[in-house]
Structure 1
Amino acid sequence: MFVKPASAASALFAGPFALATLSAPDGPAFPALVTPDAQVADLRAAFEDDRLTVRDLLEGWETALPRLRALAEDAGSTRPLAGFRVHAPVEPRQVFQSGANYRQHVIDLHVAHRAPGDDRPEEERRAEAAGIMDRRAAEDLPYVFIGLPSAITGPYDDVVLPAWAEKPDWELELAVVIGRPAHQVPVAQALDHVAGYTIANDLTDRATVFRRDMPQIGTDWLRSKNAPGFTPLGPWIVPAESLPETGDLRLTLKLNGETMQDESTKDMIFDVARMVSYASQSARLLPGDLVLTGSPAGNGMHWGRLLRDGDVMEGSVTGLGVQRTRCVAETS
């Protein structure tokens, strides 16, 4: 998809530069430095490596970052962003997804997923969900599960809705990009392992979240979240130093121009540092890996309006730009 250049009053993202993975028509994908006024420098030439990827840069983030800063000040030969295809900015090896991390979102879902035979008033069920969230916060118990890199697609690519998905839903999220290996890191040191941030839309088929055939199994995240293209990612990775405060970023998702999600990261139960630290207690986080931090209130289950063929989703996060994806029904 072509990207319109930013106007003088509207930069593409916060800070002096961001990372992207681009390609020219019929050309290979390459890592790029993008400036806020929509100019592009091919990092293969700057780093003298024709096989360079964004993940390679993240593997050596401590040495790459100063070179990228210098390039942002004097990038030399650049080209307009318009005309390049924008891919997902990185190919992660691991995707860590956070569940139930926005207080109001979880309360809304708790009400929407009413169990058969539960005829209690909505106010009572909301109070019950609020009590659960307050206990989780007090007991410091985040919830993280694993996603598949094969679900990732570009920020402007079409999203194919599988024929079997009866209730496909949107979930806009702030995504953390790891820049240094992290294993069993404390909260106080967790942000030292973060290279930057990007946008993810963690689509979910609500009809297959729970295993109705055997409730004891619980959730089925493979089926409900990991269809090809169910995680539009990007468009950019904005370095963490350009977005030092993530406690009050605005997440906004519009469906066909109508605002559905519009919430601040202030509603997070567990902040970015806690989510990175928590995931690292069990797993070794690697450069280029993603930690998705949960989605705020305003999903389709809340509105009683799920995704369908032809829908256009536009998701933005403060300082990180905008992604725009069209839903296409799967054909046989």
Structure 2
Amino acid sequence: MWHAIASYEHTLGKGGTRLALVAEDQKLYDTAQLIEAGALGERGPRLAQDLGGALQNWETNAALLEQMARALPPLLASGRVAPLAAQSYRLCVPYTPGRIFGAASNFYEHAREMGTELAPRTESTPFCFMKAETSVTATETDVVMPANTEKLDWEVELGVIVGKTCRNVSVEQAYEVIAGYTVFNDVTARDLNRRSDYPFKHDWFRGKSHDTFGPMGPWVVPRSCIEAPQSLRLKLSVNGEMMQNDTADAMIFNIAEQIAYLSSMLTLKPGDLLATGTPAGVGMGRDTYLKPGDEMIASIEKIGSIRNRVVAA
């Protein structure tokens, strides 16, 4: 029954953001109601009230969520709990990352379509950039297209969430610091990535960090629920037409190598998000860009899908 943890709010806007356990059938169960029904025992330990808080002590909170998941079938059978009605809630951003680290040109075919000349893998390391955490937005929300861009693009990526404070993590130990996974869409204004008014020709922060340029969700799937994340299939469609379709196996630098590289430079913290790179099929490679009214659906196998519509600023 255990699949993911989601953040949601009631459609009437009452009660603020709440946590829900997501079952394998993608039905949501409010964690507060599960606790009230006895999922953690009569005087069970206290679960963090939001996912950002839960990530700060993820090992403990993940164990509590697993305990709740095991308790769910008998509670359902007894009628003590019920799933949320689909019309009664809207999904929120699972949590706001402390920092977002992006991996650039991390799929060979994507690098080729962008005209990027790569050094041999044995002579290089991951190329990382940062994206503002205020760019994140939930599924079923609008991506706002700035008035000064004509080349708005999509990039489906596997989001990897850090669950432990760590430094100098080895490749072999990297998975031990992962809390879970989510879908991330690294929306990018390609023409804003370039500058002519400074001697510095690239400005990825300007091209990638606008508000709403980071659709994320629909929830977080814990590490324990996905045995082989490197084999997950990533897809993105625009207005029903498939644009991107590849697996994470096609990454140049894999998940563990990215964690090892970043942690060799700085301390990773719970809630940090790694956007691990996008496969081929982006708009720039096709000379086709997003316009107001377009609908993007970004999906990752065993996680879920997020849907976002483009609107003019």
Q: Would you say same fold, with TM above 0.5?
A: yes
Aligned equivalent of 1:159 = 143
CA distance in 2, matches of 1:73, 1:213: 59
Aligned residues: 294
Where does the alignment leave 5 or more consecutive residues of structure 2 unmatched? 36-43, 76-80
Indicate how the Cα distance of structure 1 residues 281 and 44 shifts in structure 2: closer, same or farther if over 3 A, else same. farther
Q: Deviation string for 1:239-296 (max 9, x for gaps)? A: 1111121222111111100001111112110000111111112222111110000111
Give the letter for the 1:104 counterpart: E
Aligned equivalent of 1:138 = 122
**SS of corresponding position for 2:274:** strand
**SS of corresponding position for 2:102:** strand
CA distance in 2, matches of 1:18, 1:109: 34
Equivalence map 1:243-322=2 (5 Å): 243-322=226-305
Deviation, 1:41, is 2.6
Instruction: Say whether 1:36 aligns with 2:44.
Output: no
Length-normalised TM-score, structure 1: 0.84
Instruction: Say whether 1:82 aligns with 2:86.
Output: yes
Equivalence map 1:19-98=2 (5 Å): 19-25=5-11, 26-27=13-14, 28-44=16-32, 46=35, 52-75=49-72, 76=75, 77-80=81-84, 82-83=86-87, 84-98=89-103
Give the letter for the 1:248 counterpart: S
RMSD across aligned positions (CA): 1.8
Give the letter for the 1:70 counterpart: Q
CA contact (8 A) 1:272 1:293 kept: yes
**Higher percent of residues as strand:** 2
Length-normalised TM-score, structure 2: 0.89
CA contact (8 A) 1:147 1:226 kept: yes
CA contact (8 A) 1:183 1:283 kept: yes
CA contact (8 A) 2:48 2:54 kept: no
**SS of corresponding position for 2:292:** coil
Deviation, 1:50, is 9.2
**SS of corresponding position for 1:247:** helix
CA distance in 2, matches of 1:29, 1:221: 32
Deviation, 1:140, is 3.9
CA contact (8 A) 2:165 2:268 kept: yes
**SS of corresponding position for 2:297:** strand
CA contact (8 A) 1:38 1:80 kept: no
CA distance in 2, matches of 1:38, 1:108: 36
CA distance in 2, matches of 1:234, 1:148: 17
CA distance in 2, matches of 1:324, 1:227: 18
Aligned equivalent of 1:204 = 188
Relative to structure 2, which stretch is displaced further, 99-108 or 66-75? 66-75
Give the letter for the 1:102 counterpart: F
Q: Deviation string for 1:44-76 (max 9, x for gaps)? A: 453776971101111111111221112112234
Equivalence map 1:171-182=2 (5 Å): 171-182=155-166
**SS of corresponding position for 2:234:** strand
CA distance in 2, matches of 1:33, 1:185: 30
Equivalence map 1:1-16=2 (5 Å): 16=2
CA distance in 1, matches of 2:286, 2:305: 22
Give the letter for the 1:133 counterpart: L
Deviation, 1:86, is 0.4
**SS of corresponding position for 1:18:** strand
Give the letter for the 2:2 counterpart: P
Deviation, 1:208, is 1.4
Where does the alignment leave 5 or more consecutive residues of structure 1 unmatched? 1-14, 111-128
Q: Deviation string for 1:115-140 (max 9, x for gaps)? A: xxxxxxxxxxxxxx5xx4351x1124
CA distance in 2, matches of 1:318, 1:51: 28
Q: Deviation string for 1:76-95 (max 9, x for gaps)? A: 42322512110111111111
**SS of corresponding position for 1:176:** strand
